[in-house]
Structure 1
Amino acid sequence: MNPDELAASYMAEDFDYWLSLMLDNVPDDIDQREGSIVYDALAPAAMVMAQQSLDRANIIKQTYIKTAQGAFLDYRAAEHGTARYVATQTEVKAKFLDSDGNPINNVQMGDKFASIGETPIFYTVQKINDDLTGELTADELGTNANSYLGQVLPVTSNDSLNWAEITEIVAPARDEETDDHLRDRLLRANDWIAYGGNITDYLAMLNKISEVGAGQVYPVWNGAGTVKLVIVDNNLMPASADLVKKVKNIIDPVDSEGNGYGLAPIDHQVTVVAPTLLTVNISATVNIDGNHGVDIVKSKIKMAIEAYFKLLRQTWKSVNPITGRGYSQTIYRSKVLSQIMMTEGVVNSSVPKLNETDQDIVLTFDNQTSQLPILGEVVLDG
């Protein structure tokens, strides 16, 4: 009997199970009907025993990573030398202008700003750059602030300020890691130990930097001792220049490359870059039934294709399954077609064209280029 079967057997021991078991041991000539003295005497005990069986089932489930949840899963993670990824704060860049459109110089660290809307997002200034732009972080944790660009209003009074605007998301935040994601990390086979600057070691370094959503490692990409890291942010989009600089300085600081003052081993010269975006335009002829609005169906098709491209970006860091080395990813026309055909209202479709070609697209992953796919224009005729 495995743990799942054992837990299931305990779950089956409910109130009716225990009450029937006890009543079976009562002589037949004694009234056992509901409301009888015997029934009323045994029912509370059956209720307690059923709860104890449920508790035993929960103990079995929380004992193993495959079925543990919440704090119990956190304890199992600690036993494996890791922890649940915590939610982070969105990091943004903003400009502060006077009435003439010139940058002002009296915004201070700790000043507060708020986005416009019914539920404003509050930001705190963390740094003022030499060009008088500011680096701010959202006060709230999680991804809610990842998509806001535009005007912000001062919470801290500033008479010189006429206009403040968030111009760039420097590092999108992430939400707290879910049970399923943490469980997957804990159960994933570790074929290699992170040690001495091997690929697994560099991936572990990137995992410790909360602003990095995923990364690829290219060893010896430009000669002995060189390592190239290609990183995306928590939105699985190319890392900003500021995030690239931050990761570089954490792993191998610019002013002391190869000297081991960062996370990288001595003599490793680490280059950090963002991937190259590959925009994929899609065109197809689609037949839609007469029971659905054409524009609505086309909008749903585009959403379905975008979901497929998001999945591609989630698996962008996957190693080539055939060779076990390097990275590999293909955009298949058949999978795009599948997204189209699964959309409600579509009765038929031609095989889509990708960037005006009738071929799948094999992304480039080499020492010079690492492509990241994004959806471009979607043209649906018919």
Structure 2
Amino acid sequence: MGNTRDEIQARMLANISNEYDKSEGSFFYDALKPVAIEMEAAYAELETAPENFFVVTATGSNLDKRVAEQGLVRKPAVKATTIVIITGNEGAIINSGDKVASDTVNFIIKESKTIGITGQESVLVECEIAGSIGNVPAGAIKYFPITLPGLTAVTNPDPVTNGYDGETDAELRARYFAKVQTPATSGNKYHYRNWALEKSGVGDAKVFPLWNGAGTVKVVIINSNKRAADAQLVTDVANYIEEQRPIGATVTVTSAEELVINISVTLTLAAGYTLEQARASIEAKVTDYLKSIAFISDFVSYVIIGSLILQADGVTDYSGLTVNGGTSNITIGAEQVAVLGVVTIA
């Protein structure tokens, strides 16, 4: 039985005696039309309702409600922060709340300072928008959105990497199943991993029990961008676990070490494509691949790298592929995370 608005209306009209006019434009036809439209929407809701009963298919707020039954809360997005160097005239005031900017996003100055005799001051800034949008390269923060008296230049000497997107449905669902399918009790290794994963900004964690003798636990983390965690995130996780851990355990939290993957390859391109277009596509595909294997695989596949190059925009063939100078798989250490370095194309 169909439940489109026309099918619903036809069934309702069929239940009205034929002694009445039921043709298009009649009273009964027009009166039942809006009812059929509303019922179509109601049936659509009913058809999808069972999906919201199960974690494997629930989405959005419905998924939030289901995982809350296990004490889980979706991790929110985190605003990126960094130190910028502001140049200006001696005595010029830097006010908390003023803004600096990159080409894509504004950053809010979080502390007030006065330019000294050196003509420069370092200040903390926070991205206006939460999420990875605030992760910009070194030197990208270079504007004042509005003129600030006495201030002439701004720059960020280091890349910004600590902005994290909010937890997706897939990530939250995976964390739910990790919790219910691994028995976290009495401070076992699953407990420590779950505790680490509860902190915003943590992308994954490995736990090494007894790493430095009896009663010791080492937790190695990566951030939500599947890169090494910064010092602040490591501290936040360590402090959180310290509040949860059993009495007597000595816990060490560290970041994974980044294993840089450099690629060199000669490409044959289709007509109309440039090397830079191909490079950008290769970088995006390899980065996604490395993220997908972070803390899962213990090697970077040479063959998969080659396959991804062939899938890149404009690439018809390649030769001379080397990964970190060789033609074999790259081993990833137990406390390492592979990240893309330089892609050299000939």
Task: Please tell me the TM-score bracket, short chain as reference.
Answer: 0.7 to 0.9
TM-score, L = length of structure 2 = 0.78
Structural mapping, 1:281-320, within 5 Å: 281-289=262-270, 291-296=271-276, 299-318=277-296
Q: Secondary structure at the match of 1:350?
A: strand
Count matched residues.
Answer: 337
- 1:321-375: CA deviations, max 9, x gaps? xxxxxxx42211221111121224332223732222221112121xxxx222222
Q: Aligned match of 1:223 in 210, 213, 235?
A: 213
Between the aligned partners of 1:50 and 1:144, the Cα distance in structure 2 is 40
Q: Secondary structure at the match of 1:81?
A: coil
Q: Does 1:374 align with 2:339?
A: yes
Between the aligned partners of 1:199 and 1:355, the Cα distance in structure 2 is 34
TM-score, L = length of structure 1 = 0.72
Aligned to 2:227: 237
CA displacement at 1:241 relative to structure 2: 3.4
- Structure 2: gaps (5+ residues): 114-120
Identify if the C-alpha distance between structure 1 residues 96 and 226 changes in structure 2 by more than 3 Å, giving closer, same or farther: farther
Counterpart AA for 1:355 = N
Kept in 2, the 8 Å contact 1:95–1:164? The answer is yes
Structural mapping, 1:8-23, within 5 Å: 12-23=2-13
Between the aligned partners of 1:288 and 1:95, the Cα distance in structure 2 is 42
Counterpart AA for 1:146 = N
Between the aligned partners of 1:267 and 1:210, the Cα distance in structure 2 is 26
- Structure 1: gaps (5+ residues): 1-8, 253-261, 319-327
Q: Secondary structure at the match of 1:285?
A: strand
Q: Secondary structure at the match of 2:110?
A: strand
Between the aligned partners of 1:292 and 1:158, the Cα distance in structure 2 is 48
- 1:1-40: CA deviations, max 9, x gaps? xxxxxxxx7xx41112223334445677876543356544
Between the aligned partners of 1:272 and 1:80, the Cα distance in structure 2 is 25
Q: Secondary structure at the match of 1:248?
A: helix
Q: Aligned match of 1:145 in 134, 139, 144?
A: 134
Q: Aligned match of 1:85 in 67, 75, 85?
A: 75
Between the aligned partners of 2:71 and 2:192, the Cα distance in structure 1 is 17
Structural mapping, 1:17-96, within 5 Å: 17-25=7-15, 33-36=23-26, 39-40=29-30, 42-95=32-85
Moved more, 61-70 or 201-210: 61-70
CA displacement at 1:98 relative to structure 2: 7.2
Kept in 2, the 8 Å contact 1:65–1:73? The answer is yes
Between the aligned partners of 2:252 and 2:8, the Cα distance in structure 1 is 66
Identify if the C-alpha distance between structure 1 residues 95 and 194 changes in structure 2 by more than 3 Å, giving closer, same or farther: farther
Identify if the C-alpha distance between structure 1 residues 267 and 158 changes in structure 2 by more than 3 Å, giving closer, same or farther: farther
Q: Secondary structure at the match of 1:273?
A: strand
Identify if the C-alpha distance between structure 1 residues 243 and 189 changes in structure 2 by more than 3 Å, giving closer, same or farther: closer
Q: Does 1:337 align with 2:322?
A: no
Aligned to 1:357: 326
Moved more, 145-154 or 171-180: 145-154
Between the aligned partners of 2:20 and 2:320, the Cα distance in structure 1 is 76
Between the aligned partners of 1:269 and 1:218, the Cα distance in structure 2 is 12
Between the aligned partners of 1:292 and 1:205, the Cα distance in structure 2 is 51
Q: Does 1:346 align with 2:331?
A: no
Q: Secondary structure at the match of 1:271?
A: strand
Identify if the C-alpha distance between structure 1 residues 210 and 42 changes in structure 2 by more than 3 Å, giving closer, same or farther: closer
Structural mapping, 1:147-226, within 5 Å: 147=136, 149=138, 150-151=141-142, 165-168=155-158, 172-187=162-177, 190-226=180-216
